[in-house]
Amino acid sequence: MATARREVHTQVSPITVQHPLDPLTPDEIEDAVEILRADRSLGKRVRFETVVLNEPPKAQVLRYKDGDPIQREAFIALLDNDTGSVYEAVVSITGSTVKSWEHIPGVQPKIMLDEFYECEEAVKRDPAFREALRKRGITDIDLVMVDPWSAGNFGIKGEEGLRLSFARCWLRSSPTDNGYARPIEGVIPVVDLNRMEVLRVEDHGVVPLPPNSGNYAAEFVREFRTDLKPLEITQPEGPSFQVDGRRVSWQKWELRVGFTPREGLILHNVSYLDKGRQRPILYRAALSEMVVPYGDPGEAHFRKNAFDVGEYGIGTLTNSLSLGCDCLGEIYYFDAVMNDSRGGVMTIPNAICLHEEDFGILWKHVDWRTGQAEVRRSRRLVISFIATVGNYEYGFFWYFYQDGTIEYQVKLTGIVNNAAVQAGEVPKHGTLIAPQLNAHIHQHFFNVRMDMSIDGQNNSVYEVNTESEPRGPGNPQGNAFFAKKTLLATESEAQRVVNPFSGRSWLITNPSMRNYLGQEVAYNLVPGENVLPFAHPEAAVSKRAGFMAKHLWVTPYHPDENNAAGRYPNQHPGGDGLPAYTKANRSIENTDIVVWYTFGHHHVPRPEDWPVMPVMYTGFSLKPVGFFDQNPALDVPPPSHHNGHCHP
Ligand code: CO
């Protein structure tokens, strides 16, 4: 049993394309790059920011039947390091032609993975940087860590048009210790990423290195607790899901697994089998942007607000997962295939984890007169990936339940970003988490874009608030309250924030489909934990991440509107993305709509977050409301007694 459990089901991404939404294969990436290189005579100084599937028009995808011929296109964004110019191209891979080529003025693509390494090397070579280290008594350059942070856009003179990183530096005490325990405070190398040269080294004054190490790795832990007995997850007959290429089916659920280096995991064509009909719920769902605004006003720290999707490409930073640690049970892994910045292919093996989990009770009732007990165990399908962004880890988890519920959860862990302070200093905009180590207060905002298709493309959105009935003839005892539905008919009406006091949620309905009670079929967006930003509305981060200001946004579907903070948030002055998309205040009633949900995790660091942070959870749910005629999970069989899992 133990051997079977450790069996690794690794699957190389399918060579043959089975569906128009399958991600580009390694061959297709290479072909697309080659076709464009030849057509445009691209030189060596060109970096490929993005080479991804150019998703076919929705109508075409919805018409697609197994075996139909598939036309394949790549969307390519590239940066010419010599001129700093950005170009976008669409390449037909099946037709071996360049379909479009466009110069995009005034934008900066994301910081690419190769640039991370090259930037660190450039900083370490720089004499001014070495001088700043010498001033601090740091001599071993090999132990220095340089994290190239995005520069933001603060309207500062001299930064216009430059491709910049304001790097942040740390010092390890040995090659494997936690370098993030010792920030090299005050030293900010400013790097021109096009020339890969240090422009200057800002030095905001020497602060001693914090005295303590912050090690958490097993090699450093002197004593482990000894009272843990084995807890085995076994699935002797294998998992209950089936995988065919990128298509996953699990009980009544069906979906396709996509991936881009920018968004990471993408879900396509999510549907649920009900009375013999595969009923659509989501056409496409993915994380569209995230941002982490920090609250310290200091000269060395005000720039900290990472857009980890648009500025770094969260998918690029995906971990390769291994069995028994990240996921337990019978695992199926999907590899992630993407381009590197020179147009080559980079594969992250075991990037996406697919598995099942027991999830306690699904439903239960005991007839207290007869003693008859009916209980069903809940099981969920989990599709996830985990990304490491410098010091931080984010796990992105989609859960599918037997009662038709979909849940999205972000797991935050890793090492809190920090700064050194003088001995005795008590920080205002942060928490002392170790001697002379300040973890700044910050927030994590995520925006998930959900192209809804509740039983078809034309959907509407209602806000649901519960209200007290005024006292009077209709409510003589004052006990009455009721849920009130309000149609959100336009984009501006649909810019909303959570209200836990009215039990607020948002209902996505299909006005032309009714359940047997005559109600519009619907799914409810149920908020979880949420918060609003504390940055001033005029602060740079508020302009660049306008999506933070509202939790709910709804737009009519448009193929070019995919990014909550715009296509190129890196060094962007602001206003792009949802604020721009919704300016025309289009109708969103009974049409093909996209729901964008923003949720914020508020992080006042604790000493317990150090040296590595126990997982914090944040997310939301989509719950069927009248989508089914009744509890759709009555047909889940009772737990079996013979396998020892259920002793009377
Ligand atoms: Co945090």
Domain boundary among 83, 104, 125: 104
Residue 355 domain flag:
no
- Angle value at C-alpha 396, between 393 and 402, nearest 5 degrees: 150
What CATH number did the domain enclosing 401 receive?
Answer: 2.70.98.20
Mapped onto helix, strand or coil, the DSSP state of residue 578 is: helix
- Rounded to the nearest angstrom, the distance between the alpha carbon of 529 and the centre of ligand 1 is 14
Whether 126 and 90 map to the same domain: the answer is no
What pLDDT does 641 receive? 59
Q: Which residues contact 217 (CB under 8 A, 6 or more apart)?
A: 176, 178
Q: What is the pLDDT of residues 445-485, one digit of tens each?
A: 999 999 999 999 999 999 999 999 999 999 999 999 999 99
Asked if the structure places residue 187 within a domain, the reply is: yes
**At CB < 8 A and 24+ separation, what contacts does 80-83 make?**
80/43, 80/45, 80/46, 81/45, 81/46, 81/47, 81/194, 81/195, 82/43, 82/45, 82/194
Which pLDDT score is estimated for 370? Answer: 97
Specify the pLDDT at position 640. 79
> In angstroms, what is the span from residue 443 Cα to ligand 1's centroid?
6
CA dihedral over 526, 273, 455, 510, signed as positive or negative: negative
Tell me, yes or no, whether 79 and 188 share the same domain. Answer: no
The Cα–Cα gap between 390 and 180 comes to 10
Residues 203 and 85 in one domain: no
Instruction: Verify that 412 and 308 share a domain, yes or no.
Output: yes
Count of the separate structural domains present in the chain: 3
Q: Looking at residue 604, what DSSP letter applies?
A: -
The HSE-up count of residue 191 (CA atoms within 13 Å, CB side) is 31
Residues 277 and 204 in one domain: no
Burial code of 549-580, b = ≥16 C-beta within 10 A, e = fewer?
bbbbbbbbbeeebbbbbbbbbbbbebebbbbe
Q: What is the pLDDT of residue 184?
A: 98
Question: Which residues, by Cβ under 5 Å, contact ligand 1, an ion?
Answer: 603
**Domain harbouring 29, CATH code:** 3.10.450.40
Predicted pLDDT of residue 364: 98
Q: What's the 258 CA to ligand 1 centre distance in angstroms?
A: 27
Q: How far is the CA of 587 from the centre of ligand 1 (A)?
A: 37
Please, which residues have CB within 8 angstroms of residue 332's CB and are 6 or more apart in sequence?
9, 11, 239, 241, 243, 353, 354, 355
Measured in angstroms, how far is the CA atom of residue 288 from the centroid of ligand 1?
A: 19
Asked if 131 and 157 sit in the same domain, the reply is: yes
The phi and psi torsions of 539 (rounded to 5 degrees) equal -65, 150
What pLDDT does residue 324 have? 61
Q: Where are the alpha helices (DSSP H) in 330-417?
A: none
Domain limit, last residue, from 81, 104, 127: 104
Q: Which residues of the chain have pLDDT under 70?
A: 1-15, 323-324, 641-648
Contacts of 239 (CB under 8 A, 6+ apart): 329, 330, 332, 355, 356
* Alpha-helix runs per DSSP H in 505-545: 540-544
Q: Write out the catalytic residue numbers.
A: 308, 392
Q: Is residue 159 part of a domain?
A: yes
DSSP calls for 488-513: E-BTTTT-B---GGGT-EEEEEEEEE
Give the separation between CA 617 and CA 609, rounded to whole angstroms: 14
| Å from CA of 539 to ligand 1 middle | 20
336 located within any domain: no
Question: Can you give the pLDDT at residue 644?
Answer: 47
Q: Are residues 90 and 148 in the same domain?
A: no
Q: Are residues 208 and 266 in the same domain?
A: no
- Predicted confidence at residue 37, as pLDDT, reads 96
Check whether residue 99 and residue 122 sit in a common domain. no
Q: How many other C-beta atoms lie within 10 A of the C-beta of residue 250?
A: 20
| Whether residue 165 sits in one domain with residue 19 | no
Choose one of 39, 69, 104: the last residue of a domain: 104
Same domain, 91 and 184: no
Q: Which residue, among 56, 59, 50, has the nearest Cα to 20 in the 3D structure?
A: 56
Ligand 1 mean position, distance from CA 417 (Å): 8
411 alpha carbon – ligand 1 mean position (Å): 10
Task: Judge whether 335 and 22 are in contact, CB under 8 Å.
Answer: no
Amino acid letter for position 134: R
Identify whether 550 is part of a domain. Answer: yes
- Which pLDDT does position 12 carry in this prediction? 46
Q: Which residue range forms the structural domain that includes residue 580? A: 261-317+390-477+484-625
Distance of alpha carbon 103 from alpha carbon 162, whole angstroms: 17
- Residue 610 covered by a domain: yes
Same domain flag for 527 and 605: yes
SS3 120: helix
